[in-house]
Amino acid sequence: MLKFEHPELFWIFLILLAITGLFIYRNKSRKRDLKSFADETIQGKLMQNFNPARRKAKHYLTILGLFFLSIAVVGPKVGKTLKKVERKGVDVIIAIDISNSMNAEDLAPSRLERVKYEATKFIDKMKGDRIGLVAFAGVSYLQCPLTLDYSAAKLFLDAISSDIIGVQGTAMADAVQRGIDAFKGDEKKHKVIVVISDGEDHEGKIAEVIKTAREKGIVIYSIGVGSYSGAPIPVVAKDGSIAYKKDRAGKVVTTALQENTMKEFASETGGEYYNLNKNNHAFEEMYEKIRGMEQKDFKTHEFSDYENRYQVFLAIGLILLIMEFFIRDWNKKNEEMA
């Protein structure tokens, strides 16, 4: 199993691609300039001691050397052993409201960005729990299925924004149903849905979804985001300037926290409701509650004992560049004449 220590440095291969393009351009430009300077007879005399095969070999060695050095920079690592890993934990689906109202800034830097920050810390605390993500506005979809790969889950979380769903609204019941459908197995325990939103459900079917959750033994926790007094909704114009959403009468629209639906979800399924504006430790307290639940065994196969392998690529890259340095593309006779 191969992975990389510094995958964020893969952009370095773009530089290598640019260098390759520069070599190609210089070769064509050199031939064009020589052709315009002299005819073929004179060219032959001027270039009689020049070895084009060696010049080409130097270019190839340079590019290959830099390629292997680039691989060394991103730090390849190989897992030697595939072993069975047993974990204990709970299945947790986090459903995040990404409607435009979540861009309000009564929770710095905005409701949505604060939620993503807190949810990332929540995932970092996990030890053996599986995590999944649901994003919702007027509709909902599964952003990340249940996984033990916390790094992947955080990448999906980071990609969440209010732009990825065009249908506005707060389909909270649909989001919870999407979370319910994401669970596998018939056990009526070990399952949690966390609903994070700033408003009431606009689509209905709350009672139906609560009934389904209770039948399947799913506990729902909910977190309210936003102030009771409300805040305007920022709108970014095409030129990058920021204005605020207005109604038809031209008045600025404000969005205030509405808790009733979220409190209902929590109280009817054995969970708890938290207000993030009032409680900065809401996610931590919720995780402690979840860790206190009965846990189930997760058995997976994972590669372990990863070892760095950049040394091999570093050595090859350096050897190729040293070889390039000692190859001469002009015969020694020409150098003595010069």
Task: Judge whether 182 lies within some domain.
Answer: yes
Give yes or no: residues 106 and 239 share one domain: yes
CA distance 331 to 114: 67
Minimum mean pLDDT among 6-10, 168-172, 303-307: which range? 303-307
> CB 337: neighbour CB atoms within 10 A?
8
pLDDT grade for 336, boundaries at 50, 70 and 90: very low
Look up the domain containing 30 and give its range.
2-75+309-337
Give yes or no: residues 203 and 324 share one domain: no
Q: Are 213 and 178 in contact (CB under 8 A)?
A: no
Task: Judge whether 80 lies within some domain.
Answer: no
Residue 301 has pLDDT above 60, yes or no: no
Give yes or no: residues 152 and 17 share one domain: no
DSSP class of residue 239 equals T
Give yes or no: residues 40 and 139 share one domain: no
The CATH number assigned to the domain holding 206 equals 3.40.50.410
Q: What is the pLDDT of residue 84?
A: 61
Per-residue pLDDT tens for 60-75? 899 999 999 999 998 8
Mean pLDDT over residues 210-218, rounded?
A: 95
Give yes or no: residues 103 and 240 share one domain: yes
Give yes or no: residues 248 and 203 share one domain: yes
CA distance 21 to 306: 36
Q: What are the Cα distances from residue 38, in Å, to 33, 41, 49, 260, 337?
A: 9, 8, 17, 86, 21
The percentage of residues in the chain with a pLDDT greater than 70, rounded to a whole number, is: 85
Task: Judge whether 91 lies within some domain.
Answer: yes
Q: What is the pLDDT of residue 282?
A: 96
Give yes or no: residues 238 and 332 share one domain: no
pLDDT grade for 23, boundaries at 50, 70 and 90: confident
Strands 234-236 and 242-244: antiparallel
Q: Which residues of 196-228 are buried (b: 16+ CB within 10 A; e: fewer)?
A: bbbbebbeeebeebbeebeebebbbbbbbbbbe
Per-residue pLDDT tens for 109-121? 999 999 999 999 9
Give yes or no: residues 103 and 193 share one domain: yes
pLDDT grade for 335, boundaries at 50, 70 and 90: very low
Q: How many domains does the chain have?
A: 2
CA distance 231 to 106: 6
Per-residue pLDDT tens for 220-279? 999 999 999 999 999 887 777 888 888 888 899 899 999 999 999 999 999 999 999 999
Give yes or no: residues 183 and 257 share one domain: yes
Q: What is the pLDDT of residue 81?
A: 58
DSSP secondary structure string, 87-118?
EEE-EEEEEEE-SGGGG-SSSSS-HHHHHHHH
Task: Judge whether 304 lies within some domain.
Answer: no
Task: Judge whether 204 lies within some domain.
Answer: yes
Give yes or no: residues 111 and 185 share one domain: yes
Task: Judge whether 250 lies within some domain.
Answer: yes
Give yes or no: residues 277 and 197 share one domain: yes
Mean pLDDT over residues 290-314, rounded?
A: 74
Per-residue pLDDT tens for 110-153? 999 999 999 999 999 998 899 999 999 989 999 999 998 899 99
Task: Judge whether 81 lies within some domain.
Answer: no
Task: Judge whether 23 lies within some domain.
Answer: yes
pLDDT grade for 50, boundaries at 50, 70 and 90: low
What is the rounded average pLDDT for all residues in the chain? 86
Give yes or no: residues 218 and 160 share one domain: yes
pLDDT grade for 96, boundaries at 50, 70 and 90: very high
Q: What is the pLDDT of residue 91?
A: 93
Residue 165 has pLDDT above 60, yes or no: yes
Q: What is the pLDDT of residue 326?
A: 86
Higher pLDDT: 331 or 134? It is 134
Higher pLDDT: 241 or 106? It is 106
